[in-house]
Amino acid sequence: MAQVASDVLPDAPETNVLETNVPAPGVSASKRGLITASVMLATIIQALDTTIANVALPHMQGSMSATQDQISWVLTSYIVAAAIFLPLTGFLSDRFGRKRLMLWSIAGFTITSMLCGAAQNLPQVVIFRLLQGIFGAALVPLSQSILLDTYPKEKHSQAMAVWGMGVVLGPILGPTLGGLLTEHYSWRWVFYINVPLGILALLGVMAAVTETAINKARHFDLMGFAFLSLGIGALQMMLDRGESQNWFNSPEIVIECILMGLGFYWFISHIFTYKQPFIEPAIFKDRNFSIGLIFMFVVGIILLATMALLPPFLQNLLGYPVVDVGLVMAPRGMGVMLSMMIVGKIAGKIDPRLQVGFGLILTVISLWEMTLFNTNISSWDIVRTSVVQGVGLGFIFVPLSAIAFASLEGRFRNEGTALFSLTRNIGSSIGISVVMAELQQNIQRNHASFADYITPYNQALAKVGESGHWDIATTTGLVAINNEVQRQAATLAYLQDFQLMMWVTVAALPLLLLLRKPQPGGAPVNVAAD
């Protein structure tokens, strides 16, 4: 087995390459607390930025006199850059050291956040957002990897509960925080808010996190990275711009689809034929980890797709102001926090597969209740279903994160956490694109179906029209009827999307049968010789 090169960082122990991610013994409780707080700050600022800027887009558009298509690049540049550079986390951690990579990432993310807030025109914002995505890509997987190595095996569930709060709460609280900052200050503060948090995270990581050994022998698989980047980049571009470009009626989307297929085909062929591939296929031999990736894909769909649907539903159909939308959706985060605290307490006492199953059932129930929404529902109905869904997501996220890494070899941990985050992000992108495309198409279908009943022979309509407001014989009456038909068609379309996500969650339930129960105290990390 190859030995680590001698020119490692001063505080990096000279250990076997395959043992670089084995947790160092004897971490004190105070140091562990500082490590947890520091990496969680880094996780939160990155997770917040996936949704916090969405609320500020209309204000940015007006400030910079940009079109809708132009301002969308503020989101697209960040998402595509983060997706492409996320798989690099494992290689960069091994090649330069995990602590050093974490420090670079936090510093770069903080600086580019400040530059985004200070940008004077749209090209500057897009460039700085692209750089922000590059630097922020590694923050979430690195945080997960550091926490897994900081806590002993028997406390991995507690560690994942803390980590999961940042990952899940960030996107949930993003619209609320973004709306408040934009309303009371300006859109620039959705970026400036990262600066003090980033500085605190940087100081904490510098003081508490221990550097891992450096593997100078690991070579960079440029072709593998290029193929994967092509596939992921084309996929993200297609998903992000598909709706605005009318999907496959646009040559741009067709080209991106072809490039996506070629990129993934070349990448899969490459990793099975290259001697030292960018991502080793052996990582997928761990059944729990592979099934965990599928579950995380489903979690990604549910987590952000619901959040993409509820704000326009509340604003456009129920007439909620932007700030009120954020306040109504915020209790969802309380449900996540509650469930994650419970999961942390019962870790090791209840089979994690049962916890994941319970979370899926709660999520199905909440989505089923959302299919019963109408235009007369109260704020309490929204809050109640959101809290139930938040509790369900917490029961899925934490035990799933623990069980997926319970038996994964230590040498794969950095790549594993990166793939975990990448799968969740792709699930979120696909979920948002699918539900938004379905929403628009279903609105048109529903409108056409409802319009079939608007005839002079409809007795119920004629009776209502006697008041004059919905008189089919007048132009004013026809406009009023059409507005109501459009409103009801849109309402039904939202319910159909909620139903779609409900069936996706139901379809994931049988995968529980494929998960293995972790050994008591956690299975030992396999660091056997080649």
CA–CA dist 142, 359 (Å, integer): 26
pLDDT digits (tens, 9 = 90+) for 462-514: 666 555 566 666 777 777 788 888 888 999 999 999 999 999 889 888 888 88
pLDDT digits (tens, 9 = 90+) for 336-390: 888 878 887 777 778 888 888 899 999 999 999 999 998 888 888 888 998 898 8
At 5, the pLDDT band (50, 70, 90 cuts) reads very low
Which of 35, 58, 57 has its CA nearest to residue 208?
35
3-state secondary structure of 24: coil
Residue pair 199/74 in contact (Cβ under 8 Å)? The answer is no
pLDDT digits (tens, 9 = 90+) for 301-320: 887 788 778 878 887 888 88
Tokens 């990579």 belong to which residue? 101
Cα–Cα separations (whole angstroms), residue 498 to 287, 340, 378: 30, 24, 18
CA–CA dist 186, 522 (Å, integer): 48
User: Among 72-76, 230-234, 378-382, which stretch is predicted with the lowest mean pLDDT?
Assistant: 72-76
For every residue of 412-452, DSSP letters joined together read: GHHHHHHHHHHHHHHHHHHHHHHHHHHHHHHHHHHHHHHHT
Which of 158, 201, 207, 212 has its CA nearest to residue 23?
212
Work out the average pLDDT over 182-206. 87
- pLDDT for position 287: 86
DSSP structural state of residue 471:
-
At 525, the pLDDT band (50, 70, 90 cuts) reads very low
- pLDDT for position 473: 65
16 or 348, greater pLDDT: 348
